[in-house]
Amino acid sequence: MYYWAKLYSDQLNQGEDYGVLNNTVVVNVLGYNQFSHGKIHSVYQIRDKESGEKLGDFLEIHFLETRKIEESQQEINEDLKGWLLFLSDPENQRLMRLGKEKEEMGKAINLLEELSRSREERAIAEEREKALRDELSFRKAALEKGLREGREEGIKQEKLNTAKKLLQKGMTLSEVAEITGLSPAEIEGIR
């Protein structure tokens, strides 16, 4: 109930009308038997104790008890049964066959296997991923540095060309230095 109440109440922002609240459904997948009945799937709603009249559709709480999959007489959708089997016993052979028949189930099984690799395998994969990111970052930094240095060199060369032309026009060393921003020593180097 706590999680349902949180999901339901978190929909409202301060000052909003209750009318904006959406119906909230909570699904609890249990790896143990919560209820004494033999049903796998139980649905609870808020109802009047005597008349059984439902208070509204705003609340529905589902319980799926995975330990009851094999012995329950309850009719249940095969897809749902497959997913419950996946959640409760991912190594089950029946599930492996189902994974070959249903694409989504096969993807889930593969993802679980990937996530279940040993700590050492995950560390190796993470190091490989880090090395790739580091190399990409290094290349990007080197490219940016090269571009920056190239621009600076181009600007410097343009200033030197301008200084040379100004000197050829008869301007003094101090005038050329003031216009180009070059030092007198740099200007002397192009004469």
- Domain definitions of the chain by residue range: 2-76, 121-188
Using 50, 70 and 90 to split pLDDT, how confident is the model at 140?
very high
Tracing tokens 């005038």 back to the chain, one arrives at: 175
Consecutive H or E run containing 147: helix 119-168
Are the C-beta atoms of 64 and 34 separated by less than 8 Å? no
Residue 105 identity: M
Per-residue model confidence as pLDDT tens digits over 71-85: 777 777 777 777 777
What pTM value is reported for the model? 0.48
Residues 6+ apart with CB under 8 A from 142: none
Using 50, 70 and 90 to split pLDDT, how confident is the model at 153?
very high
d(CA 4, CA 8): 6
